[in-house]
Structure 1
Amino acid sequence: MTLLSVNLNKIAVLRNSRGGDEPSIATAANTCIDAGCGGLTVHPRPDMRHVTPADVRTLAGLLRGRVEYNIEGNPFAAARGAYPGLIELCREVKPTQVTLVPDGDGQITSDHGFDLTKDIETLKPVVAAFREIGCRVSVFVDAGAQGFADALAIGVQRIELYTGPYAKAFHDGDARAELAAFADTARRAQQAGLAVNAGHDLSQANLGTFKSAIPGLAEVSIGHALIGEALYQGLSSTVRSYLRILA
């Protein structure tokens, strides 16, 4: 079964908008785990506009031995203030998986993946560093990506498909072309020896169609839609709804 990893960033956004400790990211994590999710995701950024290094550390202690812990981020973003950098943060908390994403401060959210044919030599030392820590390494990529054999050779174990274009096409009424491109990309990655994750703008409406098109989909990381739906349905009920779709 495809693992559901719930992204908790939006819980932190809501908390940070008011200050203080509510809503509690730890309580949200426990709620998702109790509802049956297989993992939790956070994406700390240097500007700390949502999840903070303190949150990352809190969750590391809470999750250990219970579910997978996936930390997303840009490994090339320099340390700043309380943010020690992605490698140092992962060295400290030792997540199950690190997902490398080429985002910058100017982006509201991640909107593209690495180009493995151009970025492979730049990625090589950071992938080695994360593997030495003991993290499974996944790299965020776009549909149509190439260079999977080279990625495997430097130690990458998974890709995460950036599914924003699929979600937009689905919303607009015809996702067939996008779905075919993602299915082809996933198939080529798997043939090269990489496992395939997916995430970004996946929702209860579009997830089932996507999963059906991607045999062997290892993991989906879902935050924005899931937390939005949870405002109306409740967090536990929403997590269970996603699990039913994935089953």
Structure 2
Amino acid sequence: MTKLSVNINKIATLRNARGGEFPSVTEAAIKLQEFGAQGITIHPRPDERHITRKDVYDLKPLVKTEFNIEGNPHRDFIDMVLNVKPEQVTLVPDADDAITSNAGWNCKKHQDFLKEIISEFKNAGIRTSVFLDPNPEMVEFAAKTGTDRIELYTEAYAKDYADSSTSLRMTKELAIKPYFETAQKCVDFNLGVNAGHDLSLENLKYFADEIPNLLEVSIGHALISEALYMGLENTVQAYLKRLAKW
């Protein structure tokens, strides 16, 4: 079964809008794990507009499932991750002022840079994943960095899947095709496959059913938004049902 890791950045965004400690990101992490989430993901950014450095350290002893820290590998980020030692670090090439992640790595261009950083994490016993666009040709270069996994950047899939219900030119099969091909290439290079960005209750099941060797999905914005109407526990359970293999 594909693991569900819940990104709690949006909880921190809501808290920071008013200051103080409510809603609590630590309580959210505890509750999400009680409700069935198999991991907690955070993406701290330099401006601390949602997850703060304090949150990172506060969460470490509370995550009993899998702690996944995402971010652009600036030196401060690298040192923090090495100090905290999460189970997984996901490297994302987002600009400091980006609203959200918006592209995967060019592993051919940045191969030496990534290889050096990944070796630091692996020497510390931290599993590594690199954010990747759906491009089979990039998988070979990702493998050469020494990464353990790739995380498929799924925004285009989510958009095309939504368009498939109204467009004569787009189908679910076309939406998933580059992702399937990229994941299949990862199997050839013995790379694990994670995925995330704009996956939701609407589009997750088809994606999880079609993608080979899908080990983990990281979902935040949609899950927290849907929880406003369904409740957090019900929403987590609904996601787990979408991921179940019957």
Q: What's the TM-score, normalizing by structure 1?
A: 0.93
Aligned letter for 1:236?
Answer: E
| Equivalent residue in structure 1 for 2:72, among 53, 65, 74 | 74
1:184 aligns with 2:184: no
Distance 1:160 1:102 in 2: 12
What's the offset of the Cα at 1:132?
A: 1.7
- 1:162 alignment partner in structure 2: 153
1:222 aligns with 2:219: yes
Structure 1: gaps (5+ residues): 79-84
Matched length: 238
Distance 1:146 1:117 in 2: 10
Check conservation: 1:102, 1:113, Cα contact below 8 A. yes
Distance 2:136 2:161 in 1: 21
- 1:28 alignment partner in structure 2: 28
Structure-to-structure mapping, 1:108-127, within 5 angstroms: 108-127=99-118
Aligned letter for 1:243?
Answer: L
1:231 aligns with 2:194: no
SS of the residue aligned with 2:116?
A: helix
Aligned letter for 2:134?
Answer: A
- 2:168 alignment partner in structure 1: none
CA deviations 1:27-55 (Å, max 9, x no partner) are 11111100111100000000111001110
- 2:123 alignment partner in structure 1: 132
Structure-to-structure mapping, 1:38-53, within 5 angstroms: 38-53=38-53
SS of the residue aligned with 1:20?
A: coil
What's the offset of the Cα at 1:147?
A: 4.0
Root mean square deviation of aligned Cα: 1.2
SS of the residue aligned with 2:212?
A: coil
Distance 1:129 1:42 in 2: 20
What's the offset of the Cα at 1:154?
A: 3.4
Check conservation: 2:192, 2:215, Cα contact below 8 A. yes
SS of the residue aligned with 1:6?
A: strand
Check conservation: 1:164, 1:200, Cα contact below 8 A. yes
- 1:90 alignment partner in structure 2: 81
1:11 aligns with 2:2: no
CA deviations 1:169-201 (Å, max 9, x no partner) are 111223322301100000001111100000000
Distance 1:193 1:70 in 2: 21
Distance 1:136 1:184 in 2: 24
User: What percent of counterpart residues are identical?
Assistant: 50
Structure 2: gaps (5+ residues): 165-170
Aligned letter for 1:89?
Answer: M
Distance 2:45 2:98 in 1: 11
Check conservation: 2:5, 2:219, Cα contact below 8 A. yes
Distance 2:50 2:188 in 1: 37
Aligned letter for 1:216?
Answer: N
SS of the residue aligned with 2:44?
A: coil
Greater CA drift, 19-28 or 118-127: 118-127
Aligned letter for 1:185?
Answer: T
CA deviations 1:35-84 (Å, max 9, x no partner) are 11110000000011100111011110111xx20000000003x5xxxxxx
Aligned letter for 2:51?
Answer: V
